[in-house]
Amino acid sequence: MKVVIVGGIAGGLTCASNIKRMNKEIDVVVFEKGKDVSYGACGMPYNLIDLDRPVEKLYALSFDEIVKNRGIDYRLNHEVIEADLKEKYVKVRNEDGEFIENYDILVIATGARANRISIFNDQKDSFYFKTLDDLRRVKDFIKNNKVNKVCLIGAGYVNLEVAEVLREQGKEVFILEKMDKILPQFCDEIREKVYKKLNEKGVQLYLNVDITEKDVGKVKTNIGDFKADMFIVSAGVTPNSDLFDVDKGVKGAIITDRYMQTSQKGVYAVGDVTLVYNRIIDDNVYFPLGTTANKQGRVAAYNIVHGNKMKFYGIVQTATFKLFEYTVATTGLSEFQMDELGIDYEKTVVTTRTRGAYPGGGKMTVVIYHDKDDRKILGSQMVGEDVVAKRVDIIATAISNKMTIDDFAWLDLSYSPPFAPVWDPVLVCAQKAIKK
């Protein structure tokens, strides 16, 4: 059997590796249109900290490990330009020309591409920030030019992380955001703390901005002109699904079943090109993350080798990012989703300390949502200092196991002054919820 995988970064390489681990006799060919092997894209903002640190340090595996040790036919600089899902072949372009590759099973792992804003294209001082080549260009420009002032277009997770790194390097940073608020999946209590932190650190944020023109060193907008030495655009992503004639949903993301199979038999899809099963609402959502892509790749591999027997467990929408001294985290449904679904929910908010009688630590704000009828926990958001990310993981686990707020409030969590107060912040919030 021959399996062709289109895309070799997160989900694609995970799928390939697991197929070969379970059955070495299966021929696995991976076509990756870029020149870089699988890498951790989430580490890109932090690779900027050291301008001399090679971007290749973000590689998850070396080329030799993939090809020689894992036995994968991994072909870089190979772009799939056509896919005939009925005749079971793909047309591939490389530096030598074009050729046809037949397959028995196809895996679509093409990821998502950065949304492009045409007025920034081909501008020598403007950059996107999605691939390792983007990172190379950004680092080279900063190293070889006098960069004191940076304009970030878009205020998503990536640009907020980039803003921190550039401010720590002493650069003046400002963000232009098209929407009337940032972090739309977060509630006002969390968002306000992010606004205050950005202001405290000297990162200027402008909302409701429509950019009308771009000249070298300047943009024109509906609220005035802004000058900068460089511009970094991170304005969301779009699934790379155009080549494939399969059922698609929101944003053109590919719809799969729980076995990761598409509407076309023998064609699987994993990663940021797909919708993903949300176990809270028993439906698919678009929530692109590398962790999800890797899990989907493992599930698809098992089903390719053993037949469709393993279901993808699903996600509960857990994500986190760092912003200076803060960690910002979320899991479960957002207020927008619950309102849209007509869920009658209770919201509880507390701000409390993260440790006991021990130096260090800080304060954190915890928000927990639970269903008013069956009292199951639906979601949580957090922001603060010290250990926040692992606390959101506790609630992600509770949501995955359909715990009620009443059960959760009495969990036997660890206590020691260096790590937590007697009542952990998540338990303080849950106790307040049941007192209502």
Which ranges in 66-187 belong to alpha helices (H)?
A: 132-144, 157-168
Amino acid, single-letter form, for residue 406: D
Is the alpha carbon torsion for 62, 289, 400, 246 positive or negative?
negative
In angstroms, the CA 345 to CA 333 distance is 11
pLDDT at 356: 84
Q: Going by C-beta distance under 8 Å and a sequence separation of 6 or more, which residues neighbour residue 150? A: 166, 171, 172, 173, 174, 228, 229, 230, 231, 232
Which ranges in 169-325 belong to alpha helices (H)?
A: 188-200, 290-306
Which among 15, 42, 151, 187 is annotated as catalytic? 42
In angstroms, the CA 71 to CA 2 distance is 13
Rounded to 10°, the helix 157-168/188-200 angle is 20
Q: What is the pTM of this model?
A: 0.94
The token pair at 300 is 């698809």
Listed as ranges, residues in the chain with pLDDT below 70 are none
pLDDT at 330: 97
32-51 residues labelled b (16+ CB within 10 A) or e (exposed): bbbebbbbebbebbbbbeee
Catalytic annotation present for 42:
yes
